[in-house]
Amino acid sequence: MPKKAKPAGPGTEEQPVPRKQLKAEAAGGPSPFNFDSPSGFFESFILPIKTETFFKEFWEQKPLLIQRDDPALAAYHQSLFRLSDLRSLCARGVYYGRDVNVCRCVRGKKKVLNKDGKVHFLQLRKDFDQKRATIQFHQPQRFKDELWRIQEKLECYFGSLVGSNVYITPAGAQGLPPHYDDVEPGDLLYFPRGTIHQADTPPGLAHSTHVTISTYQNSSWGDFLLDTISGLVFDAAKEDMAFRAGIPRQLLLQVETAAAARGRLSGLLRTLADRLEGSSQLLSSDMKKDFIVNRLPPYHAGDGAELSVPGGQLPRLDSLVRLRFKEHVVLTVKPDQDLSDETQEKMVYIYHSLKNRRETHMMGNEETEAHGLRFPLSHVEALKQIWNNPAISVRDLRLPTDAEKESLAVSLWTECLLQVL
């Protein structure tokens, strides 16, 4: 995904991003994409390339240019973000650095032409027309409904944050020198991570606009290993005294680690690998929570009342229930954060994105809040039943008492995560 925006420079007014959103302009017909499911959307998004072919031959391997001669699709893409949208956004309050960058490529180097504080459209248009500057708009999904709709489905499909940037460049101009991104951009032109590229607007056109939609930053095996290794060590130290034994005296004062210490550490790592082979569930430290806390809320038209109203009647013991918004909920097991290291026990944490704020999506300088529930580890099997079944009776949940079964169902229902059928 595009890198998270940095805070605006000194002297910049700090105002909240306006909550009122721009509606996507009609493209003259229904959407060309299938929004019924995340997999259905991605399949339609990369047509005529098959999903299996894309991941087998192109994903993280080589670029792919998908050219489609479809006027309806072209009109739809043009509606996603226009130069005219900037006038409305400027009137509502956007700022240099945080929301907008103005830049040119001068002798192979990027020259930033940002002013201080709030962006005024007339000045922006002057730099665009007279200085042939490119306008970069950060995270337009905060304002444009159809980009929100697209990126929300992609976040469900990839299980990773999806950001975007808009670049509007005058004719005969280039905004950025050749560069590469450490992310996975993807629209009609797919680039694997690290591909060096550049974009310019040929003479004869008024201007060009392109949207980069990108994902899979910080989603490597190395990132996942760092996220889960602390959980593996936590479990091992609980059961194996070798992990609780003290390190050699003055080890931290040595310039080079002694061979004996390296050998001991290698042996402990092999023990962890053996434990991993026999484990079906890893303790996640941060990745699951970071994703769900910072992702887009579910796309909805209108006021989104369905996100804040429990589904159906209050669940009872004989109720048939199912999980709501499954693609926006994660279940993770980790040590109880409220207890000291000496008494830490595992707990089940349920995080969801129903209450996430769309206007702060991918804005790295904005604080985010975790929404969800916490349960004793004894509830994990019952929660897995709810996760893995299209519908289940509250009475059939694997908990010792009927009171615990009802209490679990009511807790999830109150959080709008459970629907009574």
Q: What is the pLDDT of residue 340?
A: 56
Instruction: Answer with the residue of higher pLDDT: 376 or 368.
Output: 376
Q: What is the pLDDT of residue 296?
A: 97
HEC string for the chain: CCCCCCCCCCCCCCCCCCCCCECCCCCCCCCCCCCCCHHHHHHHHCCCCCHHHHHHHCCCCCCEECCCCCHHHHHHHHHHCCHHHHHHHHHHCCEECCCEEEEEEECCEEEECCCCCECCHHHHHHHHHHCCCEEEEECHHHCEHHHHHHHHHHHHHHCCCEEEEEEEEECCCECCCCEECCCEECCCEECCCCCEECCECCCCCCEEEEEEEEECCCCCHHHHHHHHHHHHHHHHHHHCHHHCCCCCCCHHHCCCCCHHHHHHHHHHHHHHHHHHHCCCCCCCCCHHHHHHHHCCCCCCCCCCHHHCCCECCCCCCCCEEEECCHHHEEEEEEECCCCCCCCCCEEEEEEECCCCCHHHCCCCCCCCCCEEEEEEHHHHHHHHHHHHCCCEEHHHCCCCCHHHHHHHHHHHHHCCCEEEC
Mean pLDDT of 129-158: 95
Q: How far apart are CA 47 and CA 211, in angstroms?
A: 18
Q: Over the stretch 14-27, which tens digit does the pLDDT of each residue have?
A: 343 444 444 434 44
Q: What is the pLDDT of residue 106?
A: 77
Q: How many CA atoms lie within 13 A of 377 on its CB side?
A: 10
**pLDDT of 201 strictly over 70:** no
pTM of the model: 0.86
Question: Cα 261 to chain center, whole Å?
Answer: 40
Please report the sign of the dihedral spanned by the C-alpha atoms of residue 32, residue 89, residue 173, residue 206.
Answer: positive
Q: How far apart are CA 28 and CA 73, in angstroms?
A: 10
Mean pLDDT of 309-331: 94
Q: Over the stretch 33-88, which tens digit does the pLDDT of each residue have?
A: 999 999 999 999 999 999 999 999 999 999 998 888 888 888 899 899 988 899 99
185 beta partners: 214
pLDDT tier at 200 (50, 70, 90 boundaries)? low
Q: Do residues 336 and 347 lie in contact, with contact meaning Cβ atoms separated by under 8 Å?
A: yes
Residue 41 CB neighbour total at 10 angstroms: 21
Q: Do residues 38 and 327 lie in contact, with contact meaning Cβ atoms separated by under 8 Å?
A: yes
With pLDDT > 70 as the criterion, what percentage of the chain qualifies?
85
Q: Do residues 168 and 128 lie in contact, with contact meaning Cβ atoms separated by under 8 Å?
A: yes
Q: Which residues are CB-neighbours of 371 under 8 A, at least 6 positions away?
A: 293, 351, 352, 353, 354, 355, 356
Q: Which residue has the tokens 């939609």?
A: 213
Q: Over the stretch 202-252, which tens digit does the pLDDT of each residue have?
A: 666 667 788 999 999 889 999 999 998 988 898 899 889 999 999 999 999
